[in-house]
Amino acid sequence: MEREVKREREIWYGFSGYNEKMAKIKEERKQKIVDALKNGGKIKTDGVADLLDISRATAFRYLEELEKEGAVEQVGKTGREVEYRAKQTLQP
């Protein structure tokens, strides 16, 4: 029984470490997108996919998350012509 508990803990801590590592990578990638937008103006999903060497689906999810976080805004409604730009912050 003790050996089973020990094994379960090893598995759990392994997953926990993996999840933390992946969350860090995700945040680094999202920051790269924001940095690219600050320097380059607008970017499409394909551009993000190429920039980060990821799939279009993953790039789209990152852009959606950044939009929900208020870091970027979507220009256009739907389809391949949609672009994203850094959200303008109002200066007092």
Question: In which band, very low, low, confident or very high, does the pLDDT at 89 lie, cut at 50, 70 and 90?
Answer: low
| Cβ atoms 59, 52 nearer than 8 A | yes
Q: What is the dihedral of CA 86, 87, 88, 92, to 10 degrees?
A: -130
Q: Which two tokens stand for residue 53?
A: 């060497």
CATH 3.10.620.30 fits 2-86, yes or no: no
Task: Tell me how far apart the alpha carbons of residues 51 and 55 are, in angstroms, rounded to a whole number.
Answer: 11
> Which DSSP category does 32 fall into?
H
pTM of the predicted protein model: 0.77
Give the mean pLDDT of 44-53.
Answer: 94
Q: State which H helix or E strand residue 74 sits in.
A: strand 72-75
Where along the chain do its domains lie? 2-86
